[in-house]
Structure 1
């Protein structure tokens, strides 16, 4: 049934009109508001536009693959093209980091036709140039299992709210089957790549990533994917393709050390 639903891909040039009560959403405009949500950030893609991303580790951002691939080339954006701005509010972010490495599903096509299989693959990981300390932003964990009561939440940037995170405190899962998740959160320009969050005890955890928006014939709905297995595979891809560190070779001259024997010893710890 989900595959027959009309889906409009959330490209950077597409916007939608909010149809949910404004009271359900709140802009996080100061430091107190941001507490607990610092790991959500805006992904600025050069001067082309923006998406939303969420830290899942100090140096890893989870987002949508269509936010990570250049439509013109079909390849990941080059290092330095994308900037993650954690907790951006106004012109100030809690931390700015360039993205230096991207991993997306190898079968995801930047210019492919929108379909249920495409949404299932619309996930990417971005490695930052340096970690963001836990004292600044606490990464979100991935959610496992069922969602009690089908209640979810969304924190993202978007058209008309590009300068601060807007959190929709409560929306609901409408359907969850065949690797797809349909929900009624208010999706708009810039919401692409944001994390759909489900509560686990007192904490919110990442259930899915916003990929597309469409209609089920009665109302506007958002679409995401099940993350089980995908994120682990992308992490493995990042490790495999990570630039190898350059060897730092130091030549030792006889007698250069402080030992009276003329030998210089190096401890097992590398010191």
Structure 2
């Protein structure tokens, strides 16, 4: 297995199946909690992706019918794919309400993603998935987020995520930096923890709009420093789009729950770490 390094330090990763990763302690990590609809208006396209009614990841709407997230979110602890009818997307989830609630028609991990692969570089650089919604989200308050090219080393980026200790509102962490780019992944200064795999990593375009440049894949350490690993979109996303378009089949029927209805999920978090 190839050893990742940053400034001479080996990068040790921790993989948590089905559990997403995000910043843990809000005050210590420079997080801004978007608990009101006003503060989170620009990020309504980011939502919770509930998996099998037990755990959740974070996902971002990139088209009216497509959600971008991490591939490992679509597998259970044994490495088996989660049934598509067990996945729900709750756009703009905040304090028990979703701005839009959708069931899933198709969910596809990158064709080269293997949750059991011990090679960190290969696993992370393919840790990307697309979720096709049963019905597109077309509301004035939820606009799909645009994508952009991979950021340069040293560039400032941010993350919008949910996490196990702040599951009822998204949080914004916008003071991160791209420390390095290696083997199809980004090493980021954002420390992350349980709760937000698939979170969009973004930078601001010249017109001030946020654009997604990566997706959070894993938590890691470089020496004594906590870092995170993001999946580059450049190579895997076009291949993933092509695979989704080539796939056939249909999803579950329409769900009776409407946007704005309250939903208590009782999500539980199962940690399965592998150094």
Please list, as runs of the form range in 1=range in 2, the aligned pairs for 1:80-119 lying within 5 A after superposition: 80-113=85-118, 115-119=120-124
Structure 2 residue runs of 5 or longer lacking an equivalent are: 251-275
1:7 aligns with 2:13: yes
Aligned residues between the structures = 244
Aligned with residue 42 of structure 1, among 33, 37, 48: 48
Please list, as runs of the form range in 1=range in 2, the aligned pairs for 1:175-254 lying within 5 A after superposition: 175-201=180-206, 202-243=208-249
Distance 1:223 1:133, change over 3 A: same
Could you tell me how far 1:11 is from its partner in structure 2? 3.1
Q: Distance in 1 between matches of 2:74 and 2:61?
A: 15
Tell me, yes or no, if the aligned pair for 1:74 and 1:111 is still in contact at 8 Å: no
TM-score, scaled relative to structure 2: 0.81
Aligned with residue 135 of structure 2, among 130, 134, 137: 130
Could you tell me how far 1:46 is from its partner in structure 2? 2.0
Q: Distance in 2 between matches of 1:6 and 1:150?
A: 23
* SS state at 1:237 partner: helix
Q: Distance in 2 between matches of 1:43 and 1:121?
A: 19
Q: 1:28 — aligned with what?
A: 34
Distance 1:241 1:133, change over 3 A: same
Q: Which has the higher contact order (CA 8 A, sep 6+)?
A: 2
Distance 1:39 1:180, change over 3 A: same
Q: Distance in 2 between matches of 1:40 and 1:138?
A: 10
Could you tell me how far 1:214 is from its partner in structure 2? 1.1
Distance 1:69 1:101, change over 3 A: same
Q: Deviations over 1:175-204 (max 9, x none)?
A: 113211001113121111111111111111
TM-score, scaled relative to structure 1: 0.82
Could you tell me how far 1:53 is from its partner in structure 2? 0.4
Tell me, yes or no, if the aligned pair for 1:29 and 1:164 is still in contact at 8 Å: yes
Q: Distance in 2 between matches of 1:23 and 1:211?
A: 18
Aligned with residue 59 of structure 1, among 65, 69, 80: 65
Q: Distance in 1 between matches of 2:215 and 2:156?
A: 15
Q: Distance in 2 between matches of 1:27 and 1:188?
A: 16
Tell me, yes or no, if the aligned pair for 2:24 and 2:194 is still in contact at 8 Å: no
Q: 1:247 — aligned with what?
A: none
Distance 1:223 1:17, change over 3 A: closer
The structure that has the greater radius of gyration is 1
Structure 1 residue runs of 5 or longer lacking an equivalent are: 245-271
Q: Distance in 1 between matches of 2:143 and 2:22?
A: 31
